[in-house]
Amino acid sequence: MSKLFSPVSLRGLTLRNRTVVAPMCQYSAQDGFANDWHFVHLGRFALGGFGLVMLEATGVVPEGRISYADLGLWKDEQIAPLARIVDFLHGQGAAAGIQLAHAGRKASTPLPWRNGFDETEAEKTALHFESWTPVAPSAEIHAENKNFTTPTALDKAGIRNVIDAFVAAAIRAEKAGFDTIEIHAAHGYLLNQFLSPLANKRTDDYGGSRENRMRLVLEVTEAVRAVWPAHKPLLVRLSASDWHPEGWQIEDSVVLARELKARGVDAIDTSSGGFEGAAIPLGAGYQVPFAEAIREGADIPTMAVGLLGDAAEAEAIIESGRADFIALARGALDDPNWPVHARHELGVTDYDLWPKQTNRVRERDRSLGLRAFTR
C-alpha cells in the first residue's frame, strides 16, 4: 500500500494522492490572461494523475509580474479563463491551486528564451509587451545585468497596496473555484526580499530585526486567510535558506513557519534560494532536509520539491515522515504522467488512476506481461 498514493486531507480538501505539480511560469499569457496554452499544459497533469496542480506565479498587480507574459489576477476579467482550467482539473480528479505572487525587484524581466528585450515592434504589439520600473523593500537592484532594473522602495502606502492586492486576488481565486492558494514568499521575489537581509535594508518597522522583516509576509497571510474560506487550505512557499552566509537561514524559516501556522497556514512548500551569491549544492532531493526541519520544528505539514522524481525515493520521503507532499516541476514537464507511472513502479497493479479513455494502455501492458493482473 503506497502512502504517496493514498488520499490526504487539508481542512475540507481531500487530495486523491500526495503528488503535486509545482508552480511553473509559462511566460505565455497576454495582459495576465490564461489561454489555451495554460489549459493544455495544466490539463495534462490532471490526466496524468497528480493530486494537486498548482498554477504558476500569478501577479496580484501588473507590476508584480516577473515578466509581461505572466498570469495575473488583478482584475475580474481574468477569472473566467482560469475557472475553465479549474473546472477541467476538477473533472479529472485533481485539485487546483494558484500561486499568488509579487516579483518585487525581480519584476519586468525579459522572457527566458529571448535575448533581453529584443522584441521587434510587431512582436511587442502581438505579445502585449510591457516593461516597467519594479518596486522593492529597498531601492537596490537584484543583480547588475540586462535582466534587472533598479527598483523604487515601497513606502507605507505602497506596502498597504501590496497587502490589498493579495486579498483582492485571493477573492478572485475563490471565484475561479480554486481549492487552495499558495502565497509566493520564495525565490527572491517581493515577500522573500522583505524576509532576507540581502535585499531588505529598511530602517522602518518592515526592516532590521527578523521580526520586522517577517512583518509583511505575516500581514499578507493574515489578510488573505481572513477572506479565504475556512474550509480551504492556505499554503506558503518559502525559500527555507538563501544559501548565503549573510542571508536568511533555515532556523529563521522554522520560526517563520510557526508564525504562519498560528495564522492559519496549512502547509509550507519548501524551496530555497533566489538571491545572488548563493552556493547551492544541487542534487537529488537537496531541499528535502529543509522540508523535514520545518515539519519537525514548526509541527506543520510540508511539501518537498527539487530534483525529485524517483518513485521509491518519493515514497520513502513520505513514509518516513520527512515531508507530506512531493512536488515536481521539471519532472512533470518531462513526464506529465509521472503519477500513473510512479504508482505502477511502487507495485500497484490496477489502472484506477489512469483516465478511462486510456484503458487500452492496460490492454497493451497485459499483452506485454508487464505486471501481475489481478482483474
Ligand X SMILES: Cc1cc2nc3c(=O)[nH]c(=O)nc-3n(C[C@H](O)[C@H](O)[C@H](O)COP(=O)(O)O)c2cc1C
* Residues in CB range of 121: below 8 A, 6 or more apart: none
Nearer to ligand X, 56 or 179 (CB): 56
Between 99 and 241, CB nearer to ligand X? 99
Shortest approach of ligand X to residue 58 CB, angstroms? 8
Asked if 108 interacts with ligand X (CB under 6 A), we say: no
Check residue 190 for interaction with ligand X (CB under 6 A): no
Binding mask 299-318 for ligand X (x = CB under 6 A): ------xxxx----------
Closest distance between ligand X and the C-beta of residue 205, in Å? Answer: 27
CB of 119 to ligand X, least distance (A): 20
Q: In the window 70-99, what residues touch ligand X (CB under 6 A)?
A: 99
Buried b / exposed e along 190-221 (16+ C-beta atoms within 10 A):
bbbbbbbbbbbebeeebbeeeebbbbbbbbbb
- The least distance separating ligand X from the CB of residue 299, rounded to whole angstroms, comes to 23
Pick the closer one to ligand X by CB: 59 or 247.
59
Nearest residue (CB) to ligand X, 3 versus 187: 187
Site residues (CB under 6 A) for ligand X, limited to 253-272: 271
- Of 70 and 179, nearer to ligand X (C-beta) is 70
Q: CB 240 → ligand X: shortest distance, Å? A: 12
Q: Does 326 bind ligand X (CB under 6 A)?
A: no
Site for ligand X in 23-42 (CB under 6 A): 23-25
| Near ligand X in 273-292, by CB under 6 A | none
Give phi and psi for 237, each to the nearest 5: -95, 125
β 180-185/234-239 pair status: parallel
> Is 252:239 a contact under the CB 8 Å cutoff?
no
Residues from 131 through 170 that contact ligand X (CB under 6 A): none
Among 65, 187, 232, 261, interactor with ligand X by CB under 6 A: 187
Instruction: Give dist(CA 63, CA 108) in Å, integer.
Output: 7
Could you give the C-alpha distances from 174 to 7, 9, 79, 91, 101, in angstroms and in order?
23, 19, 9, 17, 16
154 versus 305: smaller Cβ distance to ligand X = 305
- Min dist. Cβ of residue 102 to ligand X (A): 12
Decide if residue 19 touches ligand X (CB under 6 A).
Answer: no
CB of 360 to ligand X, least distance (A): 30
Instruction: Map the footprint of ligand X across residues 192-251, applying CB under 6 A.
Output: 237
Q: How many residues form the binding site for ligand X (CB under 6 A)?
A: 20
- Our finding on whether 185 is near ligand X (CB under 6 A) is no
- Kindly tell me the burial class for residue 356, based on how many C-beta atoms sit within 10 Å of its own C-beta (0-12, 13-18, 19 or more): exposed
101 Rama class: left (phi>0) / alpha (psi -120 to 50) / beta: beta
Give me the active site residues, please. 189
The whole-angstrom separation of Cα 167 and Cα 165 is 5
In single-letter form, the type of residue at position 286 comes to Y
Place of cell 505572487: 101
Residues in touch with ligand X (CB under 6 A): 22-25, 56-57, 99, 184, 186-187, 237, 271, 305-308, 328-331
